[in-house]
Amino acid sequence: MIFRENGQYAATYAKDMRIFRLREDRVAVAVLLVVAFVVVPLVANDYWLSSIFTLFLIFSLAALGLNLLTGYCGQLSLGHAAFMAVGAYAAFNFAVRLETPVLFNFIGAGLVTAAAGFVFALPSLRIKGFYLAVTTLSAQFFIEWLFVSFSWFSAGSMMGAIDTPPMRILGWAVETPRDKYLLTLGVVTVLALLAKNLTRGEIGRSWMAIRDLDVAAEIMGVRLFPYKLLAFAVSSFYAGVAGALYAFCYLGSVEVTAFELALSFRLLGMVIIGGLGTIMGSFLGAGFIVLLPIFISITVAAFATRGLTDFLSNLELIVFGGLIIFFLIVEPYGLARLWHTTKEKLRLWPFPY
Amino acid sequence: MIRALHMRLLYSLALLPSALLLALAGSAVAVDVQDDEQFVPILIYRTGPFAAGGSGIMGGFEDYMSLLNERDGGLDGVKLVWEECETAYNTDRGIECYERLKNKGKYGAPVMHPLSTGITYALIERATRDKIPIVSLGYGRTDATDGTVFPYIFPLITNYWSQSTAKIRYIASREGGEDKLKGLKIVNLHLKHPYGIETIPILDVMAEKFGFEVTHLPVPWPGIDQKSLWLLIKRIKPDWVINRNWGVSCTVPLREAARIGFSREKILGVWWCGSEEDVVPAGKAAIGYISTNFHGVGRDFPVIQDILEHVYGKMMGNISSTRVGSVYYNRGIIFGIVTMEAMRLAHTKYGNRPIGGQEMQWALENLDITESRIEEIGATGLISPLKTSWRDHEGGGKVLIQQWNGTKWVRISDWIEPYADLVRDMIKKSAAKYAKDKGITPRTKPEEGI
């Protein structure tokens, strides 16, 4: 009853092809955007804006990038944290050396990272699966090594750390947590819609064909190499922008250890828990991996009494690990699938079948 | 099938909101701070790879505050309360903890100890905007010593560069004078990691000044396998090896040195490679190994005896009592002493009430812990005198050398003074670059008190 498709006819091709075909979906997205752009900045305090929402959005974007590659094109990457680092350092160099506008820095960072992803994707035609994962792992180690070894990338900093300069967009000084949240939200919204669109078109369908069975895709006329390279490049672009946002809107001063291997694994965890091959899953997964431990930790802290603290610190890990196992058993296809099932049910509600 | 699907959905949908509700309920009942109580935030890591350091140091810090509460009824009569937040040595979580705790209590958080270099970096901008001092004691960002550019960052006692110069001064004293440094071969075995490479420039400058030869050998993270490096060291035949590692990579060199027969008495570790946890796993291979430290070790200090009596005696200790007196634990006591002395100073100016961030900043810039004050605290030999200014956020602390005898660390040197002027120039240069990148105009006078 709530989700009713009947009666909604697409009378023109343009209407048939729009991103959200159902009125209910359109309303939901519009409401979500209004809440995110208007209500949240008005209501939330610095703590929520800066350490919850901004962080959540940045990691959603990074997970989205990885989801395009792993979820849609079926190529595993263990180097996405390093690609985020490339984005952060590139944006920093644009800002400090060329003093270009902020948004240009972000796009430039994405493009530089796309180029880096392209290079590390070159072996992807010859090797697949776990073997490819190992080559992307080499990207992780190589890039970390690069930024620690050559202080040129950090404009001469002796610790290889970058200090992001203040941001100003057309006279708008991006300073407070609220400004940074809005900037992040704007970038993430645009890129998420772009990704949604990308996956519905020829490119996305080719990626999915490659993911499902590359031999079959090739026989049907999908050229594997360009599409795999494209998937790496687009995915790295997203990671790069996310890395730049992470440095500029969240951390401020960064050293390369912020982008270590563990982060690559966390990104992969987000994609798997959220749902491979869904845009929404990237957001849900990022929420799960980034925010849930914080909520658990707040809950646990409330019960902290002297003598128990040691146990309670570990309790966070126990509960979090337990929840991961629970959700993967209950819904192996990820949290996005839960939403999907809910939608199916709502379509028929209140009738059971 | 459909029914199973139905149940699965039901389970999951029920679990998510209940977890959220629990979290919200939790945030509502977290530690309550009364208006007349001094709140102290504790960023800690009891989990993860560096848990030994996190729990030891912050355990010591909390025990010191317990001591003041139990023995003296608080600091100048103001009761101390604190709340822990687990960072797991993770930068994101550190920021979240900072944001979570910064507004607790009537006056907010007076100070933060991030206990991680990564978190320190990420908090510089935020803390400066929020006017909450960040104290990074014995770690963190070296160039933040320049108070004109970093008004709210305090790498107190000694930073890594000062420490490196103190190491060279110690080597000179062992070799028989500064002129004997000429021609010496020193290997700087360091992690290939921002923390590891930080001291390369200062060692190069000193090598040029004193005429010794320094070879920088990078250890790939996490440094479990260092065989090839030690074969290289065998070829170089250095007079000294500086062990600048962290965690497990601190221990490996001791075993490797034993294997090639390099004297452990010629391996000089950074203070993050100088705890019991670093040497015990190496067993006999660690005997004779020396490392720097910026505080005394063991239990032979009145203040630690007091903690054993007033805190552990009442079963209120934070960690296992066997760890009392260990390197990390005593480091936490130092954290406590420095923080509490700054608060005490703030009380003299603002009255005996809880202290906020800006007041604490004034106190940290005017800190003067003298020898006689240290004796009053009962910490003679545990901590060196300290005097900061609005320009110098380090305070000119001194370094000592300790040696592992197989069962415990033994202090083998007097307090060693770093080559302060050598370090100061480099800090000025590095801080100026930060100011330029960030568009900051350095202060030309101390901030007015409030």
- Give B73-111 pLDDT, tens digit per residue: 999 999 999 988 888 888 889 999 999 999 888 889 999
Determine, yes or no, domain membership for A238. Answer: yes
What number is the average pLDDT over the span A172-193? 93
Contact A136, A76 (CB under 8 A): yes
In angstroms, the Cα distances linking B211 to A56, B205, B391, B412 are 52, 10, 31, 26
| Domain count for chain A | 1
What number is the average pLDDT over the span B51-60? 90
The residue among B135, B161, B139, B165 whose CA lies nearest residue B150 is B135
Determine, yes or no, domain membership for A240. Answer: yes
Report the CATH number at residue A165: 1.10.3470
Domains of chain B: 34-158+298-397+429-438 (3.40.50.2300), 160-293 (3.40.50.2300)
Q: Is the pLDDT of residue B348 over 80?
A: yes
In DSSP notation, B77-100 reads TBPEEEEEEE-TT-HHHHHHHHHH
Residues of chain B with C-beta less than 8 angstroms from the C-beta of A159: 141-142, 194-195, 197-198
DSSP state at residue B380: B
With b meaning 16 or more CB within 10 Å and e meaning fewer, what string describes A276-310? Answer: bbbbbbbbbbbbbbbbbbbbbbbbbbbebeeeebb
Determine, yes or no, domain membership for A308. Answer: yes
| B81 beta partners | B39
Read off the pLDDT band of B411 (50, 70, 90).
very high
Any CB–CB contact under 8 A between B432 and chain A?
no
> Between residues 154 and 173 of chain A, which touch chain B (CB distance below 8 Å)?
155-161, 163-166
> Between residues 72 and 111 of chain A, which touch chain B (CB distance below 8 Å)?
96
Determine, yes or no, domain membership for A218. Answer: yes
Contact B62, B42 (CB under 8 A): yes
CA B207 from centre of chain: 27
Task: Report how many Cβ contacts below 8 Å link chain A to chain B.
Answer: 165
Compute φ and ψ for B296, nearest 5 degrees.
-75, 165
**pLDDT higher for B256 or B194?**
B256
Read off the pLDDT band of A127 (50, 70, 90).
confident
In DSSP notation, A300-351 reads HHHT--TTTHHHHHHHHHHHHHHHHHHHHHH-TT-HHHHHHHHHHHHHHTTS
Q: Is the pLDDT of residue B193 over 90?
A: no
Q: Is the peptide bond before A41 cis (omega within 30 degrees of 0)?
A: no
**Percent above pLDDT 90 for chain A:** 51
What number is the average pLDDT over the span A108-135? 90
What number is the average pLDDT over the span A49-78? 93
Mutation target among B82, B143, B191, B437 for the A interface, most CBs of A within 10 A: B437
Q: Which sign, positive or negative, has the C-alpha torsion B102, B104, B107, B109?
A: negative
Q: Is the pLDDT of residue B27 over 70?
A: no
**CA nearest A97 in B: which residue?**
B437
The residue among B292, B241, B325 whose CA lies nearest residue B400 is B292
Judged on CB neighbours under 10 Å (0-12, 13-18, 19+), A90 is buried
The residue among B328, B334, B164, B155 whose CA lies nearest residue B244 is B164
What number is the average pLDDT over the span B371-390? 92
Read off the pLDDT band of A45 (50, 70, 90).
confident
**Quick one: pLDDT at residue B225?**
87
Q: Where does residue B298 fall: left (phi above 0), alpha (psi -120 to 50 degrees), or beta otherwise?
A: left
Determine, yes or no, domain membership for A28. Answer: no
**CA nearest A160 in B: which residue?**
B194
Determine, yes or no, domain membership for A26. Answer: no
Determine, yes or no, domain membership for A5. Answer: no
**pLDDT higher for A95 or B445?**
A95
Determine, yes or no, domain membership for A10. Answer: no
**Quick one: pLDDT at residue A162?**
87
Q: Is the pLDDT of residue B340 over 90?
A: yes
- The H or E element spanning position B38 is strand B38-44
For the stretch B155-190, pLDDT in tens is 998 888 999 999 999 999 999 988 999 999 999 999
Read off the pLDDT band of B21 (50, 70, 90).
low
Domain residues for A150? 34-348
**With an 8 Å Cβ cutoff, are B122 and A254 in contact?**
yes
Q: How far apart, in whole angstroms, are the C-alpha atoms of residue A188 and residue A186?
A: 6
Q: How far apart, in whole angstroms, are the C-alpha atoms of residue B433 and residue A91?
A: 18
Judged on CB neighbours under 10 Å (0-12, 13-18, 19+), A10 is exposed
What tokens does A13 get?
A: 């091709």
**Shortest alpha-carbon distance between residue A118 and chain B (Å):** 26
**With an 8 Å Cβ cutoff, are A306 and B99 in contact?**
no
Average pLDDT, chain B: 88
